[in-house]
Structure 1
Amino acid sequence: MKSNILWFLLVAHMSWAQTKTLHPEAYLKIVEKYHPVARQAQIGIRKSNAQILEARGAFDPILRHYISSKTLDGTSYYQYNAPELSIPTWYGIEVNTGVENLQGDRLDPSQTTGQTSYIGVQIPLAKNLLMDKRRAALQQAKLMNQMAFAEQRVVLNQLFLDAMEAYWHWLKCFQALKITGQNLDAAKRRVEFVKRSVELGDRPAMDTLEASTQFMYLDNQNLTKMVDFENATLQLSAFLWQENNAPSSLSREIIPAEVWTDMSLFSNFDLSLPSILEKVDSFHPELQAYQFKIESLNVEKKLKFQSLLPKIDLQYNHLMKDKSTTNSGALFANNYRYGIKLDLPLRLSSGRGEYQSAKLKMEEASIQLSQKKQQIQIKINSYFNQFQNLKKQIQTQEKAVSSYMALTKAEESKFSQGESSLFLINSREIKALEAAEKLLDLKAYLFKTVYALQASAGLLI
């Protein structure tokens, strides 16, 4: 498959020098824009928007038209034509208007012949007055939409954390390969130096074997680090995708940016523990998702409470027979039709059960929210303690690396003057190499911890 990484980097506004480097910020932009997980999170939001549109449909005006007729043995019993427009409102009141046209020879005396128009309302007086299924569905759809945004942040937080862990591992492997390469070059020069010294009679032939053995050891180390770097590159490539949902591989020409000392990467991060803990309640997406869930359950509880009320519906229509019909000004004086419907379960067993279930769901969600909040606070404190400890360890390890390198150089200087041995140089060099690799591990761990701290607080995205 043809790689399209260069195009990705240009989209991310990445700057290029003589060597092509992939900066963490540009890398994250690529991940956010093209990774399938990030795209799926966007789809979740669009689905919730569709659910809101679907719930709003319950408030759409409805046009009905009923036509009916009966003719038997040449007798026209009736011909009925009745268009009607019904308009639901947010407060449970339904406004309706229409026209009835009734003609025929065999009609019920209670029916009005000819054309009659009307305008009226249907009002719930108890059940469904403050809450009904339509309003509950729309409110819950809006809350689900907000929850979808919170869940998107949860997904992106974890995705960014995983992506950056891969990046820091890639950078660490690159730096380790660079260090072993430098040591390998130094060992090669030392072998050549020893060979010339042996030829001149300044060194015993045994030193050639000692220098060659060290070179072979470092050569193997370099090959191992090369494999580690290639595998880390493959792991990083798993987060790089193209616009057409096709995976892409990272070119070997691209290397990580050397940002170990670039603390400006954290300039947008909050690294103050009290401040982070203060922001958690308001900004953590997982807690927000729980809060939206509780609000949705509260809407459900209000809806279930309606089942404890009697259903009393009032319907009133003002009638107009012809243009001469006038309104007397009183609702029940003339030209009207009304009805009242009462529906009351005597034991309310279903309503009481549904209402209790809704309250228990809210209680359960509140407990889960408290538990999740505690887990998040513990995780934040743990990462922060780890962050503080790693800074101290790195300072100590940097001093150790400087000391080991100084000892190695001093031993090499003494060796060039015939006052030391290759065995001591090799020992110092291996110790310095191990210390440098340990420092790389600590730095990678520090950067991973900083991002983990932000992700645990929900602040990474």
Structure 2
Amino acid sequence: MKKTLLGYCIYLCIFSHDALSKEIFTVEHMKQYLTKENPYIYTAVGQQYIDEARIRSAEGDFDTRLSVAYDQKEYPISTGEFSDISLNKPTENGTEFIVGYRKAEGIQEYNNIKTGNEGELRLGVKVPVFSLLNNMNERKYTLDSAKINATRSAFESQNNLRNLYTHIVTSYYQLLYYSEVLKLEKRLLHKATKRDRFIEKRVRSGDLADVALLESKQQIINREQRVLRTKNSYIQALQTFLKYMNLSKKEFDGKYALPSLKILKKEKIIFHNVISQALKRRPDLKALESQRTKLDLDTAYNSVSAYPKLNLFAYGVHDIQYGEGIKVGLQFDIPLERRSYKGKRVEIQKGMSQIEEEKNRLLLELKTNLSNLMYALDIVNQNIELGEKETKIVESLEEAENKKYEVGSSDLFQINQREIRTLEVKKKQLEYHLNALVIQQEIKKEMGEGMTL
């Protein structure tokens, strides 16, 4: 007997030391696992990195280009040789500069070029007149579009993280709930096993009939089944949560312990503050503003289409043998019907209207959702207060029923009913705490709170 007691004490000491050596896993601990290396996180923000890379690609339109050309021909009545090497530098306002060297010998039918034996140096400029006046051209439009898309993508990533984070935190609260319910079910089983020993002694002494022991064994089996069902729910909740953390169960169990659901902080939230903060923070609203900015850019780019395409160019040359020269030119092009310009203008106007209505819809849903959530939170908090009173009552009734059973004025069925009722009330109270935390997290999500990388 002494050895058994000593072994039990040693077990308790080892278990207590192991529990104390673990960290209590809180919401703050999640952040060290919710990084870009986490597949759920990267999936939520991956498009942002792609769109940021496209800015670099669009900047390539302004790269200096090296061009080399060589042409040699020997026709029946003409021969010629032409070589050209040049650097072309486009600028953001649409103007292009060129500097190079070329040499032409013989007849150049297509180029109409003739140089001295040592070739010529040339310097030129091409000016798109109306693009320059409107400060808009295709290259600038492509680059600015890429920047706006990257900004919008960043807001959309924040929105994805906002929704994902709420889902993960909710799964964490559900895990704590099942952990607490499992403890309740184990306590219920412990009561039955403890009472079974008492019943067994009374049956042996002849104070109770053998059937009382059978009823007790059946009650234990029933409660063992309840523990197994709850344990299955707990394990599933744990595995669901750990997949978001990208952690194994063995690693989690070896390092962390779970807190009680009831001790988690309940926050007081003011409706007026919630609305004002949501309007400032919501990334989906900011993403809509980015779409509006993109349509403003489309408007500016389309406005250039209202004018003819007018390019002026001038080249100055210095022939090493013959001296200087100059060439000027003009290119003029205009679509007479201008259907592309008119159609794009209507398209942009419709897009602006759609964005405005989408914003109105989001604001309406935001205010409605927050109003409903605030009301639901108030009801849950009232239920928590009532639940505390109910818990004290059922515990007192259970205790009274146990005393009646000990003196023989009650039976196992009544005891079982009282204990089950106590468990259900405590379980309902846990559900209220879970709902309060989940609603709080939903309010934070509606306010635009989330996580940052």
What is the match of residue 261 of structure 2? 260
What is the match of residue 14 of structure 2? none
- Give the counterpart letter for 2:153 in structure 1: A
Matched, 1:450 2:440: yes
- Give the counterpart letter for 1:82 in structure 2: D
What is the match of residue 8 of structure 1? none
- Give the counterpart letter for 1:437 in structure 2: K
Matched, 1:182 2:187: yes
What is the match of residue 425 of structure 1? 415
d(CA) in 2 for partners of 1:403, 1:105: 111
Q: Where does structure 1 lack aligned partners over 5 or more consecutive residues?
A: 1-14, 243-247, 327-334
User: Is the Cα–Cα contact under 8 Å of residues 63 and 86 in structure 1 kept in the other structure?
Assistant: yes
- Give the counterpart letter for 2:120 in structure 1: T
What is the match of residue 102 of structure 2? 100
Provide, for residues 127-183 of structure 1, a one-character-per-residue CA deviation record: whole Å limited to 9, x for no partner.
464222211111111111112222222222222222222222222111111111112
- Give the counterpart letter for 2:258 in structure 1: A
How much has 1:384 moved relative to structure 2?
A: 2.6
- Give the counterpart letter for 2:90 in structure 1: P
Provide, for residues 209-247 of structure 1, a one-character-per-residue CA deviation record: whole Å limited to 9, x for no partner.
5655544443332232222222323333432436xxxxx
Matched, 1:169 2:174: yes
- Give the counterpart letter for 1:398 in structure 2: E
**3-state secondary structure, aligned to 1:113:** coil
What is the match of residue 387 of structure 2? 397
Structure holding more helix per residue: 2
Q: Residues 407 and 33 (structure 1 numbering): CA distance in 2 closer, same or farther, change over 3 Å?
A: farther
Residues 277-356 of structure 1: matches in 2 within 5 Å? 277-322=275-320, 335-356=325-346
How much has 1:80 moved relative to structure 2?
A: 2.3
Residues 223-238 of structure 1: matches in 2 within 5 Å? 223-238=228-243
What is the match of residue 246 of structure 2? 241
What is the match of residue 374 of structure 1? 364
Provide, for residues 243-287 of structure 1, a one-character-per-residue CA deviation record: whole Å limited to 9, x for no partner.
xxxxx45569467512424445x78xx944323322223321222
How much has 1:60 moved relative to structure 2?
A: 0.9
Matched, 1:357 2:347: yes
How much has 1:432 moved relative to structure 2?
A: 0.9
d(CA) in 2 for partners of 1:164, 1:357: 42
- Give the counterpart letter for 2:392 in structure 1: S
How much has 1:395 moved relative to structure 2?
A: 1.9
What is the match of residue 10 of structure 1? none
d(CA) in 2 for partners of 1:106, 1:158: 67
d(CA) in 1 for partners of 2:450, 2:154: 15
User: Is the Cα–Cα contact under 8 Å of residues 20 and 253 in structure 1 kept in the other structure?
Assistant: no
What is the match of residue 56 of structure 2? 53
User: Is the Cα–Cα contact under 8 Å of residues 171 and 256 in structure 1 kept in the other structure?
Assistant: no
User: Is the Cα–Cα contact under 8 Å of residues 307 and 352 in structure 1 kept in the other structure?
Assistant: no
TM-score (norm 1): 0.82
Matched, 1:37 2:35: no
- Larger deviation: 433-442 or 311-320? 311-320
**3-state secondary structure, aligned to 1:315:** strand
What is the match of residue 117 of structure 1? 121
Q: Residues 301 and 189 (structure 1 numbering): CA distance in 2 closer, same or farther, change over 3 Å?
A: same
How much has 1:417 moved relative to structure 2?
A: 5.0
Identity of aligned residues (%): 20
How much has 1:26 moved relative to structure 2?
A: 2.3
Q: Residues 293 and 259 (structure 1 numbering): CA distance in 2 closer, same or farther, change over 3 Å?
A: farther
- Larger deviation: 281-290 or 214-223? 214-223
What is the match of residue 148 of structure 1? 153
- Larger deviation: 174-183 or 344-353? 344-353
Q: Where does structure 2 lack aligned partners over 5 or more consecutive residues?
A: 1-17
**3-state secondary structure, aligned to 1:67:** strand
Residues 2-41 of structure 1: matches in 2 within 5 Å? 17-18=20-21, 22-41=25-44
Q: Residues 141 and 110 (structure 1 numbering): CA distance in 2 closer, same or farther, change over 3 Å?
A: closer
How much has 1:89 moved relative to structure 2?
A: 0.8
User: Is the Cα–Cα contact under 8 Å of residues 79 and 106 in structure 2 kept in the other structure?
Assistant: yes
Matched, 1:160 2:165: yes
What is the match of residue 84 of structure 1? 86
- Larger deviation: 306-315 or 190-199? 190-199
d(CA) in 2 for partners of 1:201, 1:421: 16
- Give the counterpart letter for 1:94 in structure 2: E
Report the number of matched residues: 430
What is the match of residue 245 of structure 1? none
User: Is the Cα–Cα contact under 8 Å of residues 25 and 259 in structure 2 kept in the other structure?
Assistant: no
- Larger deviation: 421-430 or 296-305? 421-430
Provide, for residues 315-341 of structure 1, a one-character-per-residue CA deviation record: whole Å limited to 9, x for no partner.
122333349968xxxxxxxx4321122
**3-state secondary structure, aligned to 1:126:** helix
Provide, for residues 296-332 of structure 1, a one-character-per-residue CA deviation record: whole Å limited to 9, x for no partner.
1221222122211111111122333349968xxxxxx
d(CA) in 2 for partners of 1:109, 1:401: 98
**3-state secondary structure, aligned to 2:305:** helix
d(CA) in 2 for partners of 1:311, 1:106: 29
Q: CA RMSD in A?
A: 3.2
Q: Residues 135 and 282 (structure 1 numbering): CA distance in 2 closer, same or farther, change over 3 Å?
A: farther
